[in-house]
Amino acid sequence: MKKEISFTLNGSEVTVTIDEHLCLIDILRGPLGQTGTNEGCREGECGACTVIVDGQAVNSCLYPAFEVEGKNVITIEGLQEPNNKLSVFQQAFVDHGAIQCGFCTPGMIMSAKALLDTNQNPTEDEIRDALLGNLCRCTGYVQIVEAVKQAAVQLKNKK
Amino acid sequence: MKRFNYYKPRSLDEAWELKEKIPDALFIAGGTDILVGIKNGELYPPALISLRSIPELNSIKINGGAHIGALTTISDLIHHPALYNIYPVLVEAAKRLGSVQIRNVATIGGNLCNCSPCADMALPLLVLDAKVRLQTAKKNREIPIDEFFKGPGETNLTPNEILTGIVLESPRKSAKAIFLKKGRVRMDLAIASLAALMEMEGEKCQKARLAAGSVAPVPLRLFKVEAQLEGTTITDKLVAEAQQLAAESVAPITDIRATKEYRRQIVSVLVKRALKNILGWSQA
């Protein structure tokens, strides 16, 4: 059965007609054309599909699309800065070589953002815990953790 | 993926009505297990009845004891301002469940109803002597949690019944508890896990509760070990005997995560660490 749902996506109201059995990632990448969110394992292990729903990092592959009705969703596209400038997170990942193939990066950044939105001074343990559900098969995580530390400092200085 | 209808009832009555109409529908909480089951072709329900929008299932009430709504997410348990002070073992176990993304969605009731032998939330609830509240439109019952688990994926729930909440008594001041989990990596399911609680009066153990995960068809109370410890003064020798008894009480299987022999060994080690930690003899 098809149903219409409305929610906030990266600050804009969207209304979309969906099949009830779909998950959030299916409608993001499908009808909404937001392909920055990647689908890896489809079963909540890899975190490539991480987005933020009402302030919390979730796996969009395990989030029934129907449940985002009325909620506030932020995807990697929502971090875009005006004039093609790199966001704090993007710059930090570039500076530290925290990207190789890049497939896990959107999910990593969304998990990091969810952490830094609620905790301005995370310890390394807290960063590692926040990224536990995001697998990276290239970099070995050290550079990613360093990048999140840099992003934390820069975001704090911005405020 | 198989198609299904998705319903979002706003009340328990509405949920039961839907279930009456579509008997093969499944109730769904956070969905982190059911949706994986559907994607893998292990489950093929015609409809899912989501319990997420039923407000009465979503609260934690503390009043001497505690009532935890079944739809409380694992993250809500961790971030609750008062819960950790009263039931630290429950929150410690919550922190070891899955990843942040899973904890933000998975619920305490869903973890129990999925009835995996490795269910992290089952163990602290077993040692806290929790009760689960099971409701249908007509009947309301409360049973001790160790009667809830029947087998892998199989609970005491009747077809139309919903686990609505968990009831906890207030723990004695002298009670101390710990949760230990051994997995290959931190996020992984447990190879073996253990929760233990003891009430000590001086040197004497007044009450002991132990529960082990991933080592039997269900999250398992170790009744024999409890009986052996209660009423005794705990010595090194007794701890060694408890380890032996625990290893004999479990019935693990060999799977991709570990062999049954290794699981038995790990349970024994976890019992030692838990008891010594509770007694203040060592850090776990």
Tell me the per-residue pLDDT of B67-105, one tens digit each, with 9 for 90 and over.
999 999 999 999 999 999 999 999 999 999 999 999 999
Find the CATH number of the domain harbouring B185.
Answer: 3.30.390.50
Nearest residue in A to B31, CA atom: A62
How far from each other are the two terminal CA atoms of chain A, in whole angstroms? 46
Enumerate the residues of chain B whose CB falls inside 8 A of the CB of residue A42: 39
Q: Are A140 and A75 in contact (CB under 8 A)?
A: no
| Residue B284 in domain | no
Q: What is the pLDDT of residues B34-74, one digit of tens each?
A: 999 999 999 999 999 999 999 999 999 998 899 999 999 99
**Shortest Cα distance, chain A CAs vs residue B116, angstroms:** 17
Q: Are residues B195 and B274 in the same domain?
A: yes
Rounded mean pLDDT of chain A?
95
pLDDT tens, A35-83?
999 999 999 999 999 999 999 999 999 999 999 999 999 999 999 888 8
Q: Domain total for chain B?
A: 3
Indicate if the pLDDT at residue A7 is higher than 70: yes
User: CA-CA distances (angstroms) from residue A31 to A18, A34, B200?
Assistant: 8, 8, 61
A123: number of Cβ within 10 Å? 10
Cβ within 8 Å, pair B50-A64: yes
Percent of chain A at pLDDT exceeding 90: 91
β-strands A72-74, B5-7 pairing: unpaired
Domain boundary, last residue among B168, B201, B227? B168
> Starting from the edge strand earliest in sequence, which strands make up the sheet with B131-135, in order?
B60-63, B65-69, B162-168, B131-135, B140-144
Shortest distance between the Cα of A97 and any Cα of chain B, in A, equals: 24
What ipTM is given for this predicted complex? 0.96
- Please state, in angstroms and rounded to a whole number, the distance separating the CA atoms of residues B238 and A34: 61
Q: Which domain holds residue B106?
A: 55-168
Q: How far apart are CA A23 and CA A21, in angstroms?
A: 7
> Coil, helix or strand for B91?
helix
Give the model's confidence band at B1: pLDDT under 50 very low, under 70 low, under 90 confident, else very high.
low
In this predicted model, what pLDDT tens digit does every residue of B239-274 receive, in sequence order?
999 999 999 999 999 999 999 999 999 999 999 999
Other CB atoms within 10 Å distance of the CB of residue B122: 30
Identify which of B4, B36, B75 has the shortest CB distance to residue A44. B36
Among A17-21, B48-52, B153-157, B182-186, which is the least confidently predicted range? Answer: B182-186
d(CA B183, CA B170): 30
> Which residue does chain A place closest to B5, by CA atoms?
A20
CA-wise closest residue to B193 among B204, B178, B202, B181: B181
Whole-number pLDDT of residue B135: 98
Q: What is the pLDDT of residues B265-275, one digit of tens each?
A: 999 999 999 99
The answer to whether residue B283 is domain-embedded is no
A23 forms beta bridges with A64
Kindly state the average pLDDT of the residues A126-132. Answer: 96
Residue A81 DSSP code: P
CB atoms within 10 A of CB A157: 8
Query: B60: helix, coil or strand?
Result: strand
Last residue in a domain, options B168, B202, B223: B168
Q: Which domains, and CATH codes, for chain A?
A: 2-75 (3.10.20.30), 79-158 (1.10.150.120)
- Work out the pLDDT band at B284, boundaries 50, 70, 90: low
Residue with tokens 């790199």: A86
B258 found inside a domain: yes
Identify the CATH number of the domain in which residue B103 sits: 3.30.465.10
Report helix, strand and coil shares of chain B as percent, to nearest 5: 35, 25, 40
